[in-house]
Structure 1
Amino acid sequence: MKGFQITFFTQQDRKHAGKQLAEWLLQFAQAHGTRGATILAGSESFGRDSHFHSAHFFELADQPIEVTMAVDEQTADTLFDALTKEGVSVFYVKTAVEFGSIGTPES
């Protein structure tokens, strides 16, 4: 199947609608037709403001977080339209990809 890999980049302490932004994005994507997504925690990053973000032993609030998904074009359009209406502010990368599954699903 042809579509897009979409990765949102945020930090552990960012919130939207009272929830951690990464968790909110995961649930929002599912509610808008995305069939799978993954949250990944990073150890260090820097953003457009050149400020470094990192996971510290005692403080994880600034830990970099990625939310990644592969979707078809229609789902991508639906998702971005809904995110725009929601007023979310988040950096993303959207890359054209081919994706699919091999074998039978695990039970």
Structure 2
Amino acid sequence: MKGYQLTFYTQQDRRHGKETLSEWLLNLAKQHGALGGTMFSAGESFGHEGRFHSAHFFELADQPVGVMVAVDEATCDTLLEAVKNEAVDVFFVRTPVEYGRTGSST
């Protein structure tokens, strides 16, 4: 099947309401019908302003975090619209993908 892989990039210390932004994004994706999603932490990154973000031993607040979800085209559109409607400033990458399952789901 064809759809999209949406990857949102943020930092551990960013919040939306009472949740971290990454938790909020993952939950929002699930609510909108994403086929699956993963939150991952990275050691280092840089953003659009050119500033580096990294996970330091004593300070993890600036640790880079990504949220990757698999979605069909309709879900991709409604999910991105929902993020925009919340006025959340977050960088994302939308990549066309082919997805499926192998083996048994039991």
Task: Report the TM-score when normalising by structure 1.
Answer: 0.95
CA positional deviation for 1:84: 1.4
What is the match of residue 82 of structure 2? 82
- The 4+ residue runs of structure 1 with deviation greater than 2 A are none
Give the partner amino acid of 1:30. K
- Residues of 2 paired with 1:53 and 1:100: CA distance? 34
Give % identity: 56
- Residues of 1 paired with 2:86 and 2:103: CA distance? 37
What is the match of residue 105 of structure 2? 105
What is the match of residue 95 of structure 2? 95
What is the match of residue 41 of structure 1? 41
- Residues of 2 paired with 1:3 and 1:49: CA distance? 30
For structure 2, which runs of at least 5 residues remain unmatched after alignment?
none
Equivalent position SS for 1:53: strand
What is the match of residue 65 of structure 1? 65
What is the match of residue 26 of structure 1? 26
What is the match of residue 7 of structure 1? 7
- Residues of 2 paired with 1:56 and 1:84: CA distance? 31
